[in-house]
């Protein structure tokens, strides 16, 4: 196991197949062991990358000096290259770091629920393999394949428990993701037609401000397709039913990680090959992101169902990621803000879906109104929800706070006052929907109106708590993440 | 790490760690929880005493940890920090004792005491923050930790109060955040420095940044002004009265409004620097805002029948004494403002303890129900009277000392109107406190109390744990007044701070 | 106009039709077919644009084969889901989005 790059992809494929053959019981144990090893590999990789150069992440230089692996000894252009730089390392760490507690959570959550759980473990394996391959891919076409792998596995997971509503949500999600990746692939085709290569490293110096129209169209198509897959407003229509309808561990994986994969790709392309073309359209994602923050938060405030509330909150939080594009400058603040937001939101949203899963499991109903009185029964879960909420609101000392701080600083440095207003109102709106749930939970319910609470499992509660605590504590380790992102001069 | 780095952290940990442990304790482990609480409070006092001795001898206590490039989580225990730290640490002990008595047999005590400890932790962090970034972290933590306490009773009314509290404080936090980040992007740092970090940066910045610094000052003051309950940002304070009495004591005397006032002190002296703030024409508007708040709070207090609401508006008024003292340009006003930070704390906590005693023992919530309360509960009413007289500024109490210094400060700064504001406020204070004392001592006993919970046993008019804390704090009100010239009085410490803050600017 | 460009333009038209179909049609089977049309359009562009001086370029051919595999997998998944929806709801159309 000397090269973590290949094993990060192979390992989940192995245990996915194993879990399919062994069935849910032993398969779950295999999966958890596998993810634990992956987490260790990701740490090893991060250490290796962190010890290397400190070129700005995403730039040509950093891809050039990154850690590489040629699969089967066949390098580019004929073979497939894997490459890892700081951004990759952060994403890999986040993925395995979120997946491990979530799989432990899922093991408890699905206990005694055999129909749905049969496909959970293999699909998770394929999903993780897709993620890791996506983050490590070094050319546009491989990125397409891995993007599809992630998308198809995610659709399968949405459809897992097989009710009509979930199947419909899965189909809607499938069509959205297929259109998105179709647009992306068309873009790749145009790029290959223009330059005869799809390798990011080779492309980066070739594309310049007066590139042929075909390349500009390609960039537009790819951006549009990926925005659709990232559920940026107004392409968010598929997200709430898909994320709000799936079982809690699946929702957590989808909201925390899957939408981040396509965002990662946008960031990679934007700061890499398309950087010379990007400035002209940078305001578009920022405007849409602002709309997403306001609209998503508003819908979360109105939501009747708990899971819908959390799903709409994802729509809103994704908006923050798109604010960074007009601010990407030499100071690297915006990139750090984006990375920090990805990490903090990933952990917090996984925690929040897990906590909501426990609440629904225990109260037996998926409604904000029905958590009344839960504070005294499930303090740990409520704490988890609250801590995750702290991250989403961007209150200190969470990772979300650091992200917001960096973002505001970047916006101020460029005089974008409207953005500061959007960021802060987004935080206040988030407070409204988070405290909507919390104050309901603190409410005392007269005994005759109280419905029976089922018993909750400590493992579930504490896994949600661990994720939430991580989302807050990551704020105290900001230095490491920033250093990994390679932006420290 | 040296001991000088450890001590500030230990002070914070001495309430944080027990708080977290208490959360995890089951409800029925009463003895363990109580023991842990008291041990933590005493340990904190011991640590604070060590710090006090060290700082008086000129030691520096600081700790620093990089969170982001150029942004540090930093603590320092200087004289000003210790003024607030000691106040909170001492009052925390008494509030904890009081809360143990007050919440006997009430549900959710683990949660209550857990958040209680977190509140004090946040207060310690605010006091010892060495830059605005750290200050903001603990300032928001304080908001989050007090919300569950405010809504502790879980009634619809409590929720309403809690929601209003959150709306005000979170919005204030957002303003504060913009101010801090703006300042950070302008100066590249937000350290608290004697003489002001902004003042030091002006030669580099040039004069055209003056309007930016004025805008930032407005944002910062509005942000902390919400917690300090400056009119018109005070709306949450009377609403938060739904909280249990120990929480009110915490809000009014130990933590929340004090955090706001303390923030203003830090911003004026150590972010802007008093002279630089004066040169930017920032002090006079601040003084006017404080004066309006002083008079407005007192006027509103006059018309409240609810005892706790009357005390709440009195807090609105009294906290602005501190701000007025800060805004008076000159060391005398500074001493008056700083010493009032402590004096207002011990006086107001006494009053809230007593109000809680009336409510718990006899079911009295309104001023109009207070007739004859002094005969039934002489000790509580004695403590209440001392607190109330102190608020009016009667001789021999702590209040007299702060008022004398504030008036001297106003005279020295040639601000005659401020003197008038102080006198008006004293008269108004008398107008809303004296009727209460008159009813309690001189009116005959009513036929029955509204809701008597705790029967009297000879001397023991109510539970011991409810009676002792107000008596001790009332004693402290007298002691701080009578022995104000001694070397260890709050006044002496405030003079030390003023000396250090002003000497740094005008040697 | 070279043959490559003709292929590419035809591919672009097919792709547009496909996207419109996936988005606008109601019947699930038609939407799945439209998706395949979309995929074919992309492959046509890929093969058409990538002819180097008359000689076929092997790399896009390999890409198209991979793309076809992915498209087949996606189609299979879509069909399975559509069939499942039919057994559950008795129809081949998606219900209106429930608002919350």
Q: What are the structural domains of chain C?
A: 3-89 (1.10.287.3510)
Q: In this predicted model, what pLDDT tens digit does every residue of C66-87 receive, in sequence order?
A: 999 999 999 999 999 999 999 9
Q: What is the pLDDT of residue A52?
A: 66
Interface check for A192 against chain C (CB to CB < 8 A): the answer is: yes
Interface check for C88 against chain A (CB to CB < 8 A): the answer is: yes
Q: What is the pLDDT of residue A1?
A: 43
- Interface A:C, Cβ pairs < 8 A: 115
Q: What is the pLDDT of residue A63?
A: 42
Full pLDDT tens readout for chain A, 489 residues? 457 888 999 999 999 999 999 888 888 999 999 999 999 999 999 888 887 654 444 443 444 456 778 877 777 666 788 888 889 999 999 999 999 999 999 998 888 766 667 889 999 999 999 999 999 998 899 999 999 999 999 999 999 888 888 899 999 999 999 999 999 999 999 999 888 888 888 898 988 888 888 899 999 999 999 999 999 999 999 999 999 888 999 999 999 999 999 999 999 999 888 988 888 888 999 999 999 999 999 999 999 999 999 999 999 999 999 999 999 877 788 999 999 999 999 999 999 999 999 998 888 888 888 888 787 778 889 999 999 999 999 998 899 999 999 999 999 988 889 999 999 999 999 999 999 999 888 887 766 555 667 777 888 999 999 999 999 999 888 888 888 887 433
Minimal C-alpha gap between B369 and chain A (Å): 29
Minimal C-alpha gap between B14 and chain A (Å): 19
Q: CA angle, corner B397, sides to B394 and B402, nearest 5?
A: 85
| Of the partner residues C41, C59, C97, the one whose CB lies closest to the CB of residue A241 | C97
Contact at 8 Å (CB) between C37 and C17?
A: yes
> Dihedrals φ, ψ of B104, to 5°?
-55, 130
| Of the partner residues B107, B144, B151, the one whose CB lies closest to the CB of residue A395 | B144
Please list every residue in chain B whose beta carbon sits closer than 8 Å to the beta carbon of residue A420: 178
Q: What is the pLDDT of residue A56?
A: 44
- Would you call A424 and B177 a contact, using CB atoms and an 8 Å cutoff? yes
- Would you call C19 and A183 a contact, using CB atoms and an 8 Å cutoff? yes
Question: Is the pLDDT higher at B320 or at C56?
Answer: B320
Question: Is the pLDDT higher at B119 or at B242?
Answer: B119
Please list every residue in chain A whose beta carbon sits closer than 8 Å to the beta carbon of residue C78: 171, 174-175, 178
- Would you call A442 and B69 a contact, using CB atoms and an 8 Å cutoff? no
Taking the alpha carbons at both ends of chain A, their separation in whole angstroms is 32
Q: Which two tokens stand for residue B144?
A: 């989050």
Question: Is the pLDDT higher at B454 or at B213?
Answer: B213
Minimal C-alpha gap between A462 and chain B (Å): 12
Q: What's the Rg (C-alpha) of chain A?
A: 21
DSSP B130: S
pLDDT(B136) > 70: yes
pTM: 0.93
Nearest Cα residue in chain B from A410:
B185
Question: Is the pLDDT higher at B407 or at A76?
Answer: B407
Q: What is the pLDDT of residue A428?
A: 94
How many helices and strands (H and E) does chain A possess? 23, 2
Domain ranges of chain B: 288-308+318-507
Minimal C-alpha gap between A385 and chain B (Å): 13
Q: Mutate which of B21, B125, B174, B186 to disrupt the A interface (most A C-beta within 10 Å)?
A: B174
Minimal C-alpha gap between A213 and chain C (Å): 14
Q: What is the pLDDT of residue A272?
A: 87
Tokens 């802007």 belong to residue: B272
Cα gap A467→A106, rounded to integer Å: 13
- Would you call B185 and A443 a contact, using CB atoms and an 8 Å cutoff? no
ipTM of the complex: 0.95
Q: Mutate which of A76, A178, A304 to disrupt the C interface (most C C-beta within 10 Å)?
A: A178
| B258-276 exposure pattern, b = at least 16 Cβ within 10 A, e = fewer | bbbbbbbbbbbbbbbbbbb
Contact at 8 Å (CB) between A351 and A384?
A: yes
Cα gap A75→B329, rounded to integer Å: 73
Q: What is the pLDDT of residue B205?
A: 63
Q: What is the pLDDT of residue A489?
A: 32
Q: What is the pLDDT of residue C52?
A: 64
Chain A neighbors (3+ CB pairs < 8 Å): B, C
Question: Is the pLDDT higher at B203 or at B142?
Answer: B142
Of chain C, the percentage scoring pLDDT greater than 70 comes to 92
DSSP B27: T
Q: What is the pLDDT of residue A47?
A: 87
pLDDT(B286) > 80: yes
Cα gap C12→A283, rounded to integer Å: 28
- Would you call C38 and A304 a contact, using CB atoms and an 8 Å cutoff? no
Which of A46-55, A172-181, B18-27, B103-112 has the largest mean confidence? A172-181
Question: Is the pLDDT higher at B207 or at A143?
Answer: A143
A271-275, B47-51, B257-261, C17-21, range with the lowest pLDDT: A271-275
Q: What is the pLDDT of residue A36?
A: 96
Strands (DSSP E) along A219-284, which ranges? none
pLDDT(B328) > 70: yes
Q: What is the pLDDT of residue A450?
A: 59
Closest by CA to B93, choosing from B318, B260, B242, B246, is B246
């Amino acid at each position: 196991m000397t090269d973590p790059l290949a094993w990060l992809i192979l390992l989940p494929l192995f245990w996915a197949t194993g879990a399919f053959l062994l069935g849910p019981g032993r398969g779950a144990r295999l999966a958890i062991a596998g993810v634990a090893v992956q987490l260790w590999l990701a740490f090893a990789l991060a250490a290796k990358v962190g010890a290397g150069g400190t070129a700005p992440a995403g730039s040509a230089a950093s891809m050039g000096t990154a850690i590489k692996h040629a699969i089967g000894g066949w390098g580019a252009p004929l073979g497939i290259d894997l490459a890892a730089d700081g951004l990759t390392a952060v994403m890999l760490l986040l993925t395995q770091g979120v997946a491990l507690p979530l799989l432990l959570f899922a093991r408890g959550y699905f206990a005694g629920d055999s129909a749905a759980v049969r496909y959970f473990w293999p699909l998770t394996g394929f999903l993780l393999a897709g993620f890791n391959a996506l983050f490590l891919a070094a050319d546009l076409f491989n990125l397409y394949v891995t993007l599809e792998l992630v998308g198809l596995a995610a659709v399968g997971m949405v459809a897992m428990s097989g009710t009509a509503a979930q199947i419909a949500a899965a189909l809607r999600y499938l069509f959205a993701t297929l259109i998105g990746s179709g647009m992306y692939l068309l873009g790749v085709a145009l790029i290959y037609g223009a330059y005869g290569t799809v390798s990011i490293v080779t492309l980066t110096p070739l594309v310049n401000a007066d590139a042929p129209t075909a390349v500009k169209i390609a960039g537009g198509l790819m951006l549009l397709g990926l925005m659709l897959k990232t559920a940026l407003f107004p392409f968010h229509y598929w997200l709430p039913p898909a994320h709000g309808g799936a079982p809690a561990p699946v929702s957590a994986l989808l909201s925390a990680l899957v939408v981040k994969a396509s965002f990662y790709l946008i960031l990679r392309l934007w700061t890499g090959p398309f950087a010379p073309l990007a400035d002209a359209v940078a305001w578009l994602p920022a405007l849409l992101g602002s709309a997403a923050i306001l609209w998503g938060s508003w819908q979360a405030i109105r939501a009747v169902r708990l899971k819908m509330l959390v799903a709409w909150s994802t729509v809103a939080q994704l908006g923050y990621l798109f604010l960074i594009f007009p601010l990407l400058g030499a100071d690297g603040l915006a990139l750090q803000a984006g990375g920090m937001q990805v990490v903090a939101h990933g952990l917090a949203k996984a925690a929040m879906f897990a906590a909501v899963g426990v609440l629904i499991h225990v109260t037996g109903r998926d409604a904000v109104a029905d958590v009344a009185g839960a504070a005294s029964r499930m303090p740990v879960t409520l704490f988890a929800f609250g801590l995750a909420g702290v991250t989403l609101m961007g209150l200190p000392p969470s990772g979300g706070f650091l992200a917001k701080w960096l973002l505001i600083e970047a916006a101020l440095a460029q005089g974008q006052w409207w953005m500061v207003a959007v960021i802060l109102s987004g935080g206040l709106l988030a407070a409204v929907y988070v405290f909507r749930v919390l104050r309901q939970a603190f409410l005392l319910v007269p005994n005759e109106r109280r419905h029976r609470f089922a018993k909750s499992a400590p493992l579930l509660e504490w896994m949600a708590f661990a994720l939430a605590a991580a989302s807050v504590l990551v704020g105290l380790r900001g230095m490491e993440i920033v250093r990994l992102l390679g932006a420290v001069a | 790490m040296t001991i000088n780095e450890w001590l500030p952290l230990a002070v914070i940990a001495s309430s944080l760690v027990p708080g977290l442990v208490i959360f995890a304790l089951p409800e029925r482990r009463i003895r363990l929880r109580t023991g842990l609480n008291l041990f933590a409070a005493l340990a904190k006092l011991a640590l604070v005493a060590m710090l006090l001795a060290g700082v008086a001898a000129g030691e520096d206590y600081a700790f620093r940890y990089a969170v982001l490039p150029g942004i540090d989580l930093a603590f320092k225990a200087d004289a000003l920090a210790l003024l607030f730290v000691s106040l909170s640490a001492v009052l925390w002990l008494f509030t904890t004792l009081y809360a143990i008595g007050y919440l006997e047999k009430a549900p959710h005590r683990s949660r209550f005491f857990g958040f209680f400890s977190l509140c004090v932790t946040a207060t310690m962090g605010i006091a010892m923050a060495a830059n605005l970034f750290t200050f903001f972290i603990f300032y928001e933590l304080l908001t989050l930790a007090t919300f569950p306490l405010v809504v502790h009773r879980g009634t619809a009314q409590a929720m309403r109060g809690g929601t209003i509290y959150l709306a005000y404080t979170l919005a204030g936090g957002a303003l504060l955040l913009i101010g801090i980040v703006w300042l950070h992007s302008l100066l590249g740092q937000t350290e608290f420095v004697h003489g002001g970090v902004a003042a030091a940066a002006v030669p580099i910045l040039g004069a055209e940044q003056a309007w930016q610094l004025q805008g930032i000052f407005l944002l910062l003051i509005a942000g902390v002004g919400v917690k300090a309950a400056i009119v018109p940002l005070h709306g949450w304070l009377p609403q938060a009265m739904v909280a249990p009495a120990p929480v009110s004591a915490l809000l009014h005397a130990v933590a929340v409004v004090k955090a706001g006032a303390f923030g203003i002190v830090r911003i004026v002296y150590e972010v802007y620097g008093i002279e630089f703030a004066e040169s930017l024409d920032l002090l006079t508007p601040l003084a006017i805002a404080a004066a309006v708040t002083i008079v407005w709070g007192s006027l509103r207090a006059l018309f409240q029948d609810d005892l706790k609401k009357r005390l709440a508006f009195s807090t609105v008024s009294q906290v602005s004494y501190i701000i007025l003292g800060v805004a008076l340009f000159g060391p005398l006003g500074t001493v008056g403002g700083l010493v009032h930070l402590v004096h207002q704390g011990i006086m107001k906590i006494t009053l809230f303890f007593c109000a809680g005693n009336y409510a718990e023992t006899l079911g009295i919530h309104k001023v109009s129900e207070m007739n004859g309360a002094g005969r039934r509960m002489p000790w509580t009413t004695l403590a209440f009277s001392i607190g109330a007289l102190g608020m009016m500024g009667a001789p021999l109490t702590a209040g007299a000392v702060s008022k004398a210094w504030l008036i001297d400060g106003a005279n020295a700064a040639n601000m005659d109107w401020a003197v008038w504001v102080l006198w008006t406020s004293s008269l108004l204070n008398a107008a809303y406190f004296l009727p209460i004392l008159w009813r309690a001592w001189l009116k005959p006993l009513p036929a029955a109390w509204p809701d008597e919970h705790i029967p009297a046993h000879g001397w023991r008019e109510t539970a011991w744990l409810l009676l002792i804390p107000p008596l001790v704090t009332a004693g402290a009100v007298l002691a701080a007044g009578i022995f104000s010239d001694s070397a260890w009085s709050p006044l002496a410490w405030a003079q030390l701070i003023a000396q250090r803050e002003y000497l740094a600017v005008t040697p | 106009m070279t043959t490559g460009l003709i292929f590419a333009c035809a591919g672009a038209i097919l792709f547009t039709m496909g996207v419109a179909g996936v988005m606008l049609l109601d019947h699930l089977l038609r939407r799945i077919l439209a998706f395949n049309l979309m995929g074919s359009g992309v492959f046509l562009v890929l093969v058409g644009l990538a002819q180097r001086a008359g000689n076929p370029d092997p790399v896009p051919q390999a890409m198209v084969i991979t793309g076809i595999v992915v498209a087949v997998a996606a189609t299979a998944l879509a069909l399975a889901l559509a069939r499942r929806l039919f057994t559950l709801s008795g129809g081949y159309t998606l219900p209106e989005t429930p608002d919350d």
